[in-house]
């Protein structure tokens, strides 16, 4: 007998991921941006896509591998919680800046979620670059 996968695993993906360097370069080079103190959001209208796609860039200035991965995990969760703000057929790249890990450790996940929401709202008010 085979067991059924959990219901959460069977849920369809509502957004895609940016994984290739060329995809990141297209967004960061040709897209528009909004920025806060510790995060920058680059975005552009996707060519031929229907779902929003999101990528995360966390440079070494943020910290070691453990710190960078923790920031990426929390950013993914913050984007999941604000998914309704993602426009269809748009690519997004969140770029973390130095110091974000320490502030996140001090202020907590709620602060990060608010920062992501603020950037996504600002991006939705600006037209996307193509």
What is the DSSP-derived secondary structure letter of residue 129? B
pLDDT value of position 27 = 85
Q: Is the pLDDT of residue 32 over 50?
A: yes
Q: Sheet harboring 16-17: ordered strands across?
A: 16-17, 53-57, 90-96, 39-45, 32-35
Query: CA 48, CA 120: separation in Å to the nearest integer?
Result: 22
Q: Is the pLDDT of residue 55 over 80?
A: yes
Lowest mean pLDDT among 8-12, 70-74, 87-91: 8-12
DSSP annotation string for 52-111? -EEEEE--GGG-SHHHHHHHHHHHHHHHHHTGGGSPTTEEEEEEE-TTHHHHHHHH-HHH
Query: Per-residue pLDDT averaged across 78-104, rounded?
Result: 94
pLDDT value of position 99 = 95
pLDDT class of 128 with cuts at 50, 70, 90: low
- Residues 43, 92: contact at Cβ < 8 Å? yes
Options 3.30.230.10, 3.40.50.2300, 1.10.287.990, 2.60.40.10; CATH of 16-125: 3.30.230.10
């Amino acid at each position: 007998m085979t067991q059924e996968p959990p219901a959460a695993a069977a849920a369809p993906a509502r957004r895609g991921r940016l994984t290739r360097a060329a995809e990141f370069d297209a967004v960061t080079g040709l897209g528009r941006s909004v920025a806060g103190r510790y995060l920058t959001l680059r975005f552009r209208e996707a060519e031929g896509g229907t779902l929003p796609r999101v990528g995360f860039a966390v440079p070494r200035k943020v910290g070691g591998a453990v710190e960078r991965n923790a920031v990426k995990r929390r950013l993914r969760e913050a984007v999941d919680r604000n998914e309704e703000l993602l426009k269809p057929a748009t690519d997004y790249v969140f770029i973390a800046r130095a110091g974000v890990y320490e502030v996140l450790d001090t202020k907590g996940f709620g602060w990060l979620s608010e920062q992501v929401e603020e950037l996504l709202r600002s991006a939705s008010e600006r037209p996307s670059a193509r």
